[in-house]
Structure 1
């Protein structure tokens, strides 16, 4: 399926995200913060980034900004997840970006992932 980079500093949430995506056939890479995500992307460019918003050492918004500024990664879609309100609510989200508020269901996660990857959502 797709190579997905999960950027999440809370281990339980990271395991949940990674397991859900792997269970649906995706290859999943994990980074604990935005800085680690950029280092991982130097080695392997993902098809999609799923990132938490609040993290130490480069938060989700800063990660998205860095990704959009690099021509190698500019077009990689990004799903921002957060327990907080959408940081762009009322603002404009760029194409290839989506927001999912925690807590979320596996179905809503997969629907958002499939939407960003341009694939139909198939019931599990």
Structure 2
């Protein structure tokens, strides 16, 4: 799978909140850097550690929804602008906007570095 197709599949998996589909598109030695805590976020390495983040995110955030705003590919790299929405405990909606800088290897995400407006 070329990088553009891999990015499209990865974005769709995130949009659906399907952790198995997300992980199927990541390498076994994948790296994820979260947006927090400030200033550098937390770095997770390996599919088990990264899977745990997605399980917590999608399982513990009411109405979690990622929406792609824009993306582009350059070789084995990609940038994905996104909006993440949820429902707060009081029933009001919340959201943040951010960017992922991704690196692909053999059609899979090897690195996902996330940054958020904040």
TM-score by length of 1: 0.26
RCO higher in 1 or 2 (8 Å CA, sep ≥ 6)? 2
TM-score by length of 2: 0.27
Instruction: Kindly indicate which of the two structures has a greater share of residues assigned to helix.
Output: 1
